[in-house]
Chain A
Amino acid sequence: MLNIASRGKALVIFAAAVAVAVALACGSDPQIVEVERVVTQEVIKEVPVEKVVTQEVIKEVPRDVVVEKEVIKTVEVEKPVEVIKEVIKTVEVEKPVTITETVTLIVTPTPVVMAAPGAINAPQPSGDAGVINIAIADVAPGVGLGSTQLTDAMHYWGVGEVTMKFVSPGVVAPMLATAWELKINDAGKPYGATLTVRDDVIFHGEGLGDRSNNGGSWGPMSAKDVAFTINDGNNAVNNASIHWQAGDFAAMFGSNEAVAMDDSTVDLTFNVDAMGEPLYDPRWSANLMNDAAQAFSVQSLNRFETVGKQEMQDTNFIGTGPLQIVEWIQDDRATLEAVPYTHWNANPKVDRIVFREVGEQNTQVALMETGEIDAAPIELKNLPRMLDGGFQTADNGLAGLASVVFSGNLWETNHVVSNEPLDTAAVYMRDLPWIGDPSPDNRGDKNKDLTDLEEARLVRNALARAIDRDLINTALLNGLGFPNYLNQFSSTNPNWQDKWNYPYDPAESERLLDEAGWTKNSNGNRFDIPLYAPNPGGYQEIADAVAGFWEEIGVSTAVQKYAYSVYRPTIVARSTTLPWVTGCDDGKSTWPWEWPKSQDHTSLTRGGFGCGLEIKEVADTWIAVAGETDIEKQMQMNNDLAQYLFDQAVSFGIVGVPAPITYNPNKIASWPMDPALFSTWNNPEDIVPAGR
């Protein structure tokens, strides 16, 4: 380093010496003469630069004129279809210069002729017609065992498959299982089930590996694979499991292992309660073991035994679906291709699907507009402009039910099944207007004539009636959503009754708050309330809107937006008192009316995720509905539950938010989806490419 510095010094000295030498060589009085020369040279040099600029401006004008002429000609023809045909022919010539000119012709006139102002036009596709590019917000991990956080969505992607398929409420169809039968005990209660699985299903190979033997398949699927997958995920059997449904398996089967009786029969035994009675969940075939819901994708026991747990955990998922993984890079892309053999169900019509992670909505729209992406979950606020431009949508009927959930209302004192005392002290350390303390002698914070529970109920009802749901739907969802009033019941369900609609009535809200004792102070403020909006999450703007409405009735609202990973532990630990905007688990518009509702509002989920609510009436109803086999009785009990939840307003709805997939019809002819209970998209294997 010192050498470098020395060299630098030497250079400076050398430069100085040269300068002195030059100065001496130039005569005795060089200063005035040289300065004058420099100035003169600079002035002369600047002139041609100005000329060049002038020339560039002149050249641009005729280009603009040419474009305008082309636009006018296209409009006069008034045959947009013919223009599109011309483009296809031009591309076939494979002359890059011609293609560039053609693009100008297509893009410029289309909005003028076809679409409303601001419309985003569906572009002509580029690339292979059999390769579909889809943008999604997150490419989750595609590696691993079910028990090691493999994404639970493998069956939504068409890579994995489940035992049953959801058709409609009360109707479940075969998938990997061809038949199933409940096992009934002497008391007439179901205590287990037997499944018969298909014998013509085979596992994928290793992506692009050896395809000589049916794609290098890991062999046929049997009952052993189904039993292995269930036991691997069930944290009551495999206590290392962090499968997304680890707890659901445990709740349904307890420590009872699934057993393969032979190659085609799986024997299942349900969990029991503290008294030894079977805990039968009527949703078992339509939820946890169903393609439409949060379920499992069957994995190969053969592979597990051959390569070992670690290898299976570190390599791509091997499933049985019509699409297999070529490449899966978490948080980047997932490339899937049609299996190279005859699939037991149906082979995809596409050759390849590439899912790209694009988290930013504006980028998704831009990619759709430029044709780099063929489909994406475009938000409702952007959707009309795209529909105006010719894009189309596909959906599976599912809408999320955005709701306000008043976590911290823990009204159960003992666990509903074990009867163990529940620790709820954390949420009652402070008196909060929206939280009711169930202690019998606890009076209201402001109105001592009321119990604390009743006072808080009035407050929540006031807040529920202060929200203009129609306006939120119009302003934030372009009218494509719908007003909703309860977290676990959709107002679009045929069984919905209008008496459960909270009217938009700020005057009534103010009256209720006055009655509860939360009158306005000199600043016009009644009380302060926080409102948590999870990040990431789709309901942050809705939370902002709700806060605006609450401000109007004198409730100062602070919307808090931060990582859900920070909030979730407080929900699991039952220590939070923050109201939040969420759908919880049951906030899905497609959930059947007769299903047991709102397990996440009860102590049944203690130790795991819940909504931060524990309500004995809800828990009792859940258990009663779960144990009932008569659908009419189930629905009547849930009607009563809806009325109770409406009165309590402890988790009221705001709007239903559909989440369609928008696609370019020039690339995708159709995308039929099956009914869904959780995922907003599925069945990519059924995409029909345009022109095929």
Chain B
Amino acid sequence: MYSFLIRRIAFVIIALLGATAVVFSLSRMAGDPVLLYAKPSGYGSEDYLDNLRKKLGTDRPLVVQYFRWVGQLIQGDLGRTLLAERPVIDVIQEKIWNTFQLAFAGWFFATILGVPLGVLSAVKRGTFWDYIGRSIALFGQALPAFWVGVMLVLVFAVYWQIFPAAFKGEGFSIKHFVLPTITIGWGAAAGYLRITRSAMLEVLDSEFVKLARAKGVGSSGVIWKHAFKNALIPPLTLSALLLAGLMNGAVVAEVVFAWPGLGRVALVEAVNNNDFPLLTGAVFIFTIIYLIMNFVADVLYAWADPRIRYS
């Protein structure tokens, strides 16, 4: 158990260093960040640029800059954004809860839609319900989330005026969650559906399920108690990673629905402005979330399948 935890934690640290180092390097490969802020100043501005470099710390070698950033990170300081010179941690705190709410809603929607439909599709294999399920899986994975979002706005906000077209609403407004949740959860539900269906089909054909039927176990008992629990491992693994993935992937819904989340700020604005402190800070946070969810997935996996041991 302990060795498992130590190995996982070591992996987390290595992955964190790797991810941030890559983003840190890529942001510099786009050019000297100082040149983004060099105004039409006329001659004699090299001193000005040098001062800017000193102020931003970009006058040092890249490796030094990176480890300096890591040193600050250990002290809980993610630096300041280039654009507004605000503490990065403040910007992240301001936005990340909105992103998490949306990602969780999308994950919940995907789970309650995708998993039961996957089971239904497998149990009713070759029937009308199977075709419905497979169609949802096909369209869910084929339709871009951006297009789905725009269509949902057009139909449900503009034509039928059932839901608002955008924004998060004041406080906790469920009606503002509906369309963005479907937008990001639709594709995820399709993934769930496919993986659950294939796992269920495999299990339903297995000997122990036939045995259960032969022993006279009721249909629902066979499906949910015997088959589903054994088919649960792939969707369970997907589930944890999906939540982390939706944290990153919510950016599409955030753009379409003007959702004030971190993705729009960190992955759109920061990239456009090459705001490397914000970009690196946000990637650091996203990486931590992903690694935590990955860890949770490992644990759930072991819980669901007793054959798996931490050793």
Cβ contact within 8 Å between B45 and A359:
no
Q: How many chain A residues have a CB neighbour from B under 8 Å? A: 87
Stretch at the interface among B8-16, B67-75, B80-88, B101-109: B80-88
Cβ contact within 8 Å between B310 and A244:
no
Binary flags per residue of B222-257, CB closer than 8 Å to A gives 1, else 0: 000100000000000000000000000000000111
Chain A neighbourhood of B310, CB < 8 A:
1
Cβ contact within 8 Å between A251 and B41:
yes
Cβ contact within 8 Å between B167 and A607:
no
Does residue B174 face the partner (Cβ distance < 8 Å to A)? no
Residue of A nearest to B4 (CB): A1
Cβ contact within 8 Å between B38 and A608:
yes
Known A42-B219, A356-B167: A247·B39 in contact at CB below 8 Å = yes
Bound-state Cα–Cα, A159 to B52, Å: 28
Q: Could you say which of B1, B82, B166, B257 contacts A1, with CB atoms under 8 Å apart?
A: B1
Shortest distance in angstroms between B59's beta carbon and chain A's nearest beta carbon? 14
Cβ contact within 8 Å between B165 and A607:
no
Shortest distance in angstroms between B24's beta carbon and chain A's nearest beta carbon? 15
Does residue B132 face the partner (Cβ distance < 8 Å to A)? no
Bound-state Cα–Cα, A236 to B310, Å: 63
Bound-state Cα–Cα, A285 to B177, Å: 50
Residue of A nearest to B81 (CB): A141
Cβ contact within 8 Å between B306 and A329:
no
Residue of B nearest to A242 (CB): B37
Cβ contact within 8 Å between B271 and A563:
yes
Stretch at the interface among A448-456, A565-573, A648-656: A565-573
Bound-state Cα–Cα, A135 to B35, Å: 30
Cβ contact within 8 Å between A572 and B38:
yes
Cβ contact within 8 Å between A605 and B40:
yes
Does residue A336 face the partner (Cβ distance < 8 Å to B)? no
Chain A neighbourhood of B77, CB < 8 A:
none
Binary flags per residue of B153-183, CB closer than 8 Å to A gives 1, else 0: 1100110010011110000000000000000
Bound-state Cα–Cα, A271 to B269, Å: 36
Does residue B202 face the partner (Cβ distance < 8 Å to A)? no
Cβ contact within 8 Å between A565 and B30:
yes
Does residue A199 face the partner (Cβ distance < 8 Å to B)? no
Chain A neighbourhood of B265, CB < 8 A:
330-331
Shortest distance in angstroms between B243's beta carbon and chain A's nearest beta carbon? 21
Bound-state Cα–Cα, A247 to B46, Å: 12
A-B contact count (CB 8 A): 214
Binary flags per residue of A363-398, CB closer than 8 Å to B gives 1, else 0: 100110110100000000000000000000000000
Bound-state Cα–Cα, A239 to B34, Å: 14
Bound-state Cα–Cα, A247 to B37, Å: 10
Cβ contact within 8 Å between B154 and A366:
yes
Residue of A nearest to B56 (CB): A242
Cβ contact within 8 Å between A148 and B260:
no
Cβ contact within 8 Å between B264 and A363:
no
Known A366-B165, A569-B35: A608·B258 in contact at CB below 8 Å = no
Cβ contact within 8 Å between A372 and B40:
no
Shortest distance in angstroms between A278's beta carbon and chain B's nearest beta carbon? 14
Bound-state Cα–Cα, A586 to B299, Å: 61
Cβ contact within 8 Å between A607 and B41:
yes
Q: Could you say which of A135, A148, A251, A607 contacts B85, with CB atoms under 8 Å apart?
A: A148
Bound-state Cα–Cα, A250 to B39, Å: 10
Does residue B61 face the partner (Cβ distance < 8 Å to A)? no
Does residue B214 face the partner (Cβ distance < 8 Å to A)? yes
Bound-state Cα–Cα, A246 to B51, Å: 13
Chain B neighbourhood of A66, CB < 8 A:
none
Does residue B218 face the partner (Cβ distance < 8 Å to A)? yes
Cβ contact within 8 Å between A31 and B157:
no
Does residue B217 face the partner (Cβ distance < 8 Å to A)? yes
Does residue B126 face the partner (Cβ distance < 8 Å to A)? no
Known A356-B167, A536-B272: A569·B43 in contact at CB below 8 Å = no
Does residue A587 face the partner (Cβ distance < 8 Å to B)? no
A-B pairs with lowest CB-CB distance, top 9:
A247-B41, A569-B31, A247-B39, A607-B45, A141-B84, A569-B35, A565-B274, A332-B260, A608-B41
Question: What residues of chain B have their CB less than 8 Å away from a CB belonging to chain A?
Answer: 1, 30-33, 35-49, 51-52, 55, 82-87, 91, 94-95, 150, 153-154, 157-158, 161, 164-167, 212-219, 225, 255-258, 260, 264-265, 268-269, 271-274, 299, 302-303, 306, 310
Q: What are 15 contact pairs spanning A and B, CB under 8 A?
A: A38-B219, A141-B86, A149-B37, A149-B82, A149-B84, A240-B51, A246-B48, A330-B84, A363-B166, A369-B158, A569-B31, A585-B40, A605-B42, A609-B40, A610-B40
